Amino acid sequence: MSVDQRVRAALHAAADAYEPDEAEALRIVVARTGGVRRTRQPWRVLAAAIAVVAVVLVAVGIGQLLRGSPRSSAVAAAPLPGRYVVDVSETSAGENRDIAGRWVVVLAEDGTIQLTPPETYSLARTGSSYRTDGHTLRTDVLLDYPGCQAGTSSLGVYLWHAYTDQVQFVVVDDECAPRIALFTDQRWERLP
């Protein structure tokens, strides 16, 4: 037997004979650290639960809008043309403060839009139009507003659903911030 083989055999025999006292080693470690500590992080569980609830609520809300399920007091869906009132908040208006306030919007059956804006709005009130294809609306409202002519399209594209007493819009594609605020800040209330 070579020296190398003898050394290897002796090392294996010594390793096989060694039986560590695991319980004693654990007691020493626990004594050194001051006891067994479990790190609990309840905020992680809470954050995960909140995230799951948020995802479910968003999914349900989008699903209801796309299916046309009314969430207002209305029961039956209504056609889009009509006379509406909407209040655009200063928060939604952002730097376009002149659009904040009460708007009366008439969506005529011929595709024209008549605007009665708040007193702070000084640009054109006529000449706007819209077109629908199913529940998709394309419009050039506020085209004369600075910055709303730029980009690849001067039209705003929205999904819409009309209820007996309201209409709700969700932006699909629009580069005009004031128009987005007008259409999506709140549901539009139908006027008699």
Domain residue extents for the chain: 3-67, 82-191
Phi, psi of 68 (to 5 degrees): 80, 25
From the candidate CATH numbers 2.40.128, 2.40.10, 2.40.390, 2.40.50, the one assigned to the domain spanning 82-191: 2.40.128
* Both tokens assigned to 151: 């980009």
Kindly report, residue by residue over 111-143, the tens digit of the pLDDT: 999 999 999 888 877 788 999 999 999 999 988
- The conformational region for residue 48 under phi > 0 = left, psi -120 to 50 = alpha, else beta, is alpha
pLDDT-wise least confident of 8-17, 85-94, 99-108: 8-17
Kindly report, residue by residue over 69-98, the tens digit of the pLDDT: 444 444 445 678 999 999 998 887 778 888
Kindly report, residue by residue over 35-68, the tens digit of the pLDDT: 656 666 677 777 777 877 777 776 666 665 555 5
Chain centroid to CA 56: 12
Chain centroid to CA 186: 15
Question: What pLDDT does residue 31 have?
Answer: 80
